[in-house]
Structure 1
Amino acid sequence: MSAPPLLLTRYRDVRDALHDARLVIHKPLAVGDAATHVEQAGAGERSHRVRPLWQRLAQQLRPEKVATLSAFVEVRIDRIADAAQARGGMEVVGDLAFPLPVAVMADLLGLPDSDHAQLRPLFEAITRGHDIGSSEPERHHARFAQAAVARWIGARLAQARATPMVDAIRAVAEAEGIAPSLVAYWGTMLLYAGSATTRDLIANAIALLIDHPLVAQDLANGTVSIDAVIDEVLRLEGPVRGVGRVATADLVIGAHRIASGDLVYLMLGDANRDPDRFADPDRFDPARPANGHLAFGSGVTHCLGAHLARVEARITLDRLRPMLVGATRADPDDWSTVRLLRQRNTLRIAFDAAQLC
């Protein structure tokens, strides 16, 4: 029987682990060509075929590139906000936090505009399969869901309109002789990873503002910056609670000896509430100096889509901030049981009628 995985929870240990290239991403669902690439990475042989794609995508997700999406995001949010105002409230996850980032990623991938609601249960199955302690049936279901999304996106990528991201994928695939199945896997992971955690960032930000009406009022008045609110949301209720890593060599992190092949979870959520790093760590305080959270990773594992997630969250809060003053919850918290994400199933809110006049 294998030993249980190590969980790193202290800020310093998690930060050091994030900067250690000997700890590579754990991908429990990878099969076929994707599994081969993961295996190569696990052997310290970062695939020469994956590196150019990563580099090209990093170029396309730089802040100045992502900023060009602002108008697209604003139109989407305003449409959602107008409908929510007419109803006097919204179910944040289903009405806004899930569909918005999926639509943004689909646009980046040149996919036709459509209702992506059918992807939500598939994404949630993939999330459960990646979770710490997931069962074999959950992983089997997740692989099935992943394959279903890959089939869906593979057919559409072949016909996708030209976009910088699509051009990057096609150029690398052609230059490196990548099989269509792996291209579809890339597309699946981009669509999934580029939307799943942004969903939770947006929903958690709105929930925290409703729970802290003085901060919501300060945000509406402009006396607290949107970026400060987003950083404190990321620290206190960041969407990713933990990430799995596999050691490719024997190493030491803090007081922990880790053997080659060991599975380690870097618990970002715990690190971001480490009292040795943050004073009064359970308090929501956008004025907190030198936030320094690890919600987007750090070093060699900094989140590729961090700038995109920030843009979507920033525009969302900017467009909704007048409506969030006086808003209340219509239902109690409805958290997912997933351990590695800070994810809500639903968040029903009602607006203050006086603020809508």
Structure 2
Amino acid sequence: MRALLSKEPGGPERLAIGELPEPVAGGGQVIVAVRACAVNYPDVLIIEDRYQFRPQRPFAPGGEVAGVIESVGEGVEGWAVGDRVIAVTGHGGMVEKLALPAAALHRLPPNRSFEDGAALLLTYATAIHALVDRGRIAAGQTLLVLGAAGGVGLATIELGKAFGARVIAAVSSQEKAAAARSAGADEVVVYPYAPLDKAASKALADAFKAAVGGQGADIVFDPVGGDYAEPALRSVGWEGRYLVVGFPAGIPRLPLNLTLLKSCDVCGVFWGAFATRDPAANAAHVATLFRLWDKGAIAPKVTGVFPLERGGDAIAALAARRVVGKLVVVP
């Protein structure tokens, strides 16, 4: 079976097409013929041994897939050969076939493409968990979204609008600003590339404050980190929530006196652990996402499709922060 494999730690240029044994469905498992695998920032980290866990090599990157059930293992109920499904895999998705626990599957509607299905769960499920469970979002609140033109950023804009918030998008280019506006952002701040000196950091904080308004942001969604974190925290209002989602720009050091002065919360967002610890709550969120998708309130933004042989190029583009929306690899 063909797969895009990481055989040693390193960047996407070290990935290579190879062979893995054909998977066999164990008890409670199904075999999924992978039709599409979305690319996410954990793919950048996991091949360099910088992620929370390190799979045994050789392994394939790829944390979320869409495909068709090819066989069903013992004890599986409710699923049949030919069913169209999506699932979060953690890793291993850039392959032709994959053994998955039946409990991890969600049904892909017949009117949705495999590419869009593969691009749904990680970004939108992270965003809805962040906004609802950690951010306590409510209609009329102000939401500042950093990295707003990436997959999770665009998902957060759409969900913020669906929940009735005023959404301020922060991006690094005019092209990305256009994508954020298209997703529904009420206002956009274009920030400079890091590193930011003291004057640039203050200027960005002032820009964020002006955009969110005099009461400050009720919620800041930050999947970027680095030098952008402190200016964003300075824009938080009284009893606001600063959501820590990721660190492609580096792990920041926050001045904690700001949290005291604003009586605000700094909240970690680890969707994968949440989904494992509370699968019922996660399933309820996914059901909400499907309802919003049916209504047209959200829609995955797939902006590039790569063959398996070029999966490394897709990961490299994401690492370089050149991507608007989501990229998908097809075996």
Judge same fold: TM > 0.5, yes or no. no
More helix by share: 1
TM-score by length of 2: 0.25
* Larger RCO (alpha carbons 8 Å, 6+ apart): 1
Question: Structure 1-normalised TM-score?
Answer: 0.24
- Larger strand fraction of residues: 2
